[in-house]
Structure 1
Amino acid sequence: MDGGASEMQTRNSRYQGEGTKPLRPTIDRDQLRRNVSERVSASKPQQQQAQEFTYNQQVGQSHAQQVRQATARIGVANENRFAQTSQRVKAKTTKKLSFGKNIFKGAAIILWRPFGGFFGFVKRRYTHLSLKFEQANLFNASLHSLVNSALVIIFIITAAILYRNGQIATIKHDIIEKMGEWSSAAGVNVQEVKLYNRQHTSKAEVLAALNVEIGTPLLSFDVDAARQRIEQIGWVAEAEVQRILPDRLEISIVERDPFAIWQIEGKRYLVDRQGVVVADEILRGYHLLPLIVGKGASGEASGLLNALEERPEIFEYIRALVRVGERRWDLDLTNDVRVLLPAEKPEAMLADLERMIVDQDIFSRGIKLIDFRLNDRVRFEMDEVTANAYFDAKQAALEDIK
């Protein structure tokens, strides 16, 4: 059919070239039928091939799905078989281990019975011996304590007997004497004595109390006894005696501070705040100290004097503090006024006396005695001149009334 068309085109082109009009071709129907049949026969294999390709593609897809599904089923089956196999292996292994464990326990029990009995015997013996050892130690400790107590008791009794008989002092003295002899043989003797902090204390009194001579063995010299003797001196409050090797004694003293002048039985002494007699003579510079008079006044005056020092309006009038009957005080003032204080809490009455002096000018009224001994009142006595003037004024007043 394509060949006929090409021939017709060739003829037409030829006729066009010649300038003539082409004739209509004669149609060969048989040839046309053959061409159509050929074309139909030629197209059937292509359609068959396309249909076969489509079928094959569909069949391939369904086959792939079947393969995948089969593969999945095979994998699940394999997993199940593996799990079952693992469980069987685990069960077998557990059974074998349990069997081995039971065998081990049985063997251990069989082997432990003789050894366990032996170890139990050893443990019992060890416990028994330990208890016996502890009992022995307790007994030894008790015995040791008993022996020590007995020795201590014997020592105390012996020391008491020796002390009562004076043997300890004798033994101590003998030891000191022996040490002195050995030290003297070695040249350790007293060659020099030094005294420190002395102001009023007599040097001769200190040396006399020290009771030492040149050449006395230094180590055998009793410094404690020497200290006690030196502290018996009135001016000395504290003393310290030291050995200084190889040949010196050093003495350091602390002197007392005089506080008042104590007058008793017509004699006067310097005393400190504790009432200790410092000196039996009044040294220069101590004449203005307060005067205390009477038996027992030296040891009881410090409290009242301290209270008076805090009240200068009274203290400037004080001439003496007089102890009466060793139980109470009288104040002897410089204006010849005498103040009688009670036995208990005499310091409490000083406030009233100060108020009378400052506020009432009591000393300008001719009073010679003020008595605070009564609890509910204060008693006054006037001097002779004031009393006479008062009596005369009273008589005159009575006559005027008449």
Structure 2
Amino acid sequence: MPPKRKAKRKSPSYVAPKRRKGFLAVALPWLKRFGLVIGGLILITWLGAWFVLTGTAARTANWSKSQIIAATANAGFKIENLLVEGRVNTDPALMMALLNIQTGDPLFGINPQEAKTLLEETKWIRAAHIQRRLPDTLYIKLYERTPIALWNYNGETTLLDDAGKPLRVDDLAAFSALITLKGKGANEVATDLIQTLLNEPDLSPIITSATRQGQRRWDITTKDGITIKLPEDDKVPHALRRVIDAQTNDKILDNADIESLDLRFEDKIIIRTKPGSVIDYKNGVSDNKKQTRNSEGAA
């Protein structure tokens, strides 16, 4: 039996050391990935810009909106009733033209905020409230500027509202029943005077005009031509009360011989008569005796 040979030991295999990857080898895959992402973003941005700049987005939105509005109209949400409150001087034809609506139009076809803005740009409307009342009513509440007086200054007559602001109208004749104010600065204090007169319903209906004197006080004139010289503004309410008391007791405003009443003094009323006329009037502060005043009396 032949002798066994010793098995040769296998020498260990040689393993080469791993080489480090360079920067480019590591970064290149990531750059490729980011490049795809960035390219995609650029493409999306470009398409979005094209969509907007060419008007496609607006046309698409408008088309979608019109389809929705048409669908609501087909479902019965149409304007069958138009309810307007607070309209006095606003031209109804102008209002309808601004809103551009008519019976049968889609109720959701009108934008309440846009309608409000349009109405408030007109001269008469101070504020407006627009509301859809389902299923078929459009409600409009108007808050108009209220004309309170005519203002005559520098040869020009202007209508004033309840804030003393000018109202430009074509036909002033429609407001001829309002009191006429005269003088510089009359418009600035018109609201206070009108409100004070309205607080005296026994007197205000017969006052036809008021003239501002020195920007401190008023001379008011009755429909019979009697001028009432009022004190400075803060004393006007008390002065008007004195006139009303005199009218109640002595019918002083019914006397055709009187030309003017001067209430600038707190303790007396000075009466001026027309030329050639003489009257008696009680002076309640001095000695309560009848005194005679003629046309040469104090003015």
Q: Distance in 1 between the 2:164 and 2:58 partners?
A: 37
For 2:192 and 2:231, the matched residues in 1 are separated by 14
Where structure 2 has 5 or more consecutive residues not aligned to the other structure, the ranges are 1-56, 279-292
Are the aligned partners of 2:257 and 2:273 in contact in 1 as well (CA < 8 Å)?
A: yes
| Structure with more of its chain in helix, by fraction | 1
* C-alpha spacing 1:245/1:184, structure 2 compared with 1 (3 Å): farther
**What do you get for the CA RMSD once the two structures are aligned?**
4.6
Q: Is the 8 A contact 1:235 1:279 kept in 2?
A: no
Give the letter aligned to residue 254 of structure 1.
L
Residue 254 to residue 186, structure 1, CA distance change in 2 (3 Å): closer
Which one of the candidate residues 218, 227, 230 is aligned to 2:119?
230
Q: How many aligned positions are there?
A: 210
Deviation at 1:202, TM superposition (A): 1.5
Distance of aligned partners of 1:283 and 1:360 in 2 relative to their CA distance in 1, 3 Å threshold:
closer
Residues 235-246 of structure 1: pairs in structure 2 closer than 5 A: 235-236=124-125, 238-242=127-131
338-347 or 258-267, which deviates more: 258-267
Partner Cα separation in structure 2 for residue 391 and residue 194 of structure 1: 66
1:373 counterpart = 2:255: no
Q: What is the deviation of 1:296? A: 2.7
Q: Supply the distance in 2 between the matched residues of 1:177 and 1:301 (Cα, whole angstroms).
A: 57
Match of 1:260 in 2: 148
Q: Deviations over 1:125-167 (max 9, x none)?
A: xxxxxxxxxxxxxxxxxxxxxxxxxxxxxxxxxxxxxxxxxxx
Aligned position for 1:340: 229
Alignment of 1:39-78 (within 5 A): none
Alpha-carbon distance, 1:227 to partner: 0.6
Q: Distance in 2 between matches of 1:239 and 1:176?
A: 29
Question: Cα 1:217–1:321, aligned 2, differ >3 Å: closer, same or farther?
Answer: same
Identity, in percent, stands at 18
Q: Over residues 30-89 of structure 1, what are the superposed CA-to-partner deviations in whole Å (9 max), with x where a residue is unaligned?
A: xxxxxxxxxxxxxxxxxxxxxxxxxxxxxxxxxxxxxxxxxxxxxxxxxxxxxxxxxxxx
Superposition deviation, residue 335 in structure 1: 2.4
* Pair 1:354 & 2:236 matched: no
Considering Cα pairs closer than 8 Å and 6+ residues apart, tell me whether 1 or 2 has the greater RCO: 2
Q: Which has the larger radius of gyration?
A: 1
Aligned residue in 2 for 1:302:
194
Q: Which residue is 1:383 aligned to?
A: 274
Give SS of 1:352's match.
Answer: helix
How many Å apart are 1:330 and its aligned residue?
A: 1.9
Partners of 1:378 and 1:244 in 2: CA distance: 60
Aligned 1:183-262 pairs, distance under 5 A: 183-186=65-68, 188=70, 195-197=82-84, 198=87, 200-210=89-99, 222-236=111-125, 238-242=127-131, 250-254=138-142, 256=144, 258=146, 260-262=148-150
For 1:243 and 1:324, the matched residues in 2 are separated by 51
Displacement of 1:337 in angstroms is 1.4
Quick check: 2:79–2:107 contact (8 Å CA) kept in 1? no
Describe how 1:115-134 pairs up with structure 2 within 5 A: none
Contact 1:179 1:220 in 2 (8 A): no
C-alpha separation between the residues in 2 aligned to 1:298 and 1:253?
27
Q: Does the aligned pair in 1 maintain the 2:258–2:272 contact within 8 Å?
A: yes
Q: Which residue of 1 aligns with 2:288?
A: none
* 1:228 counterpart SS class: helix
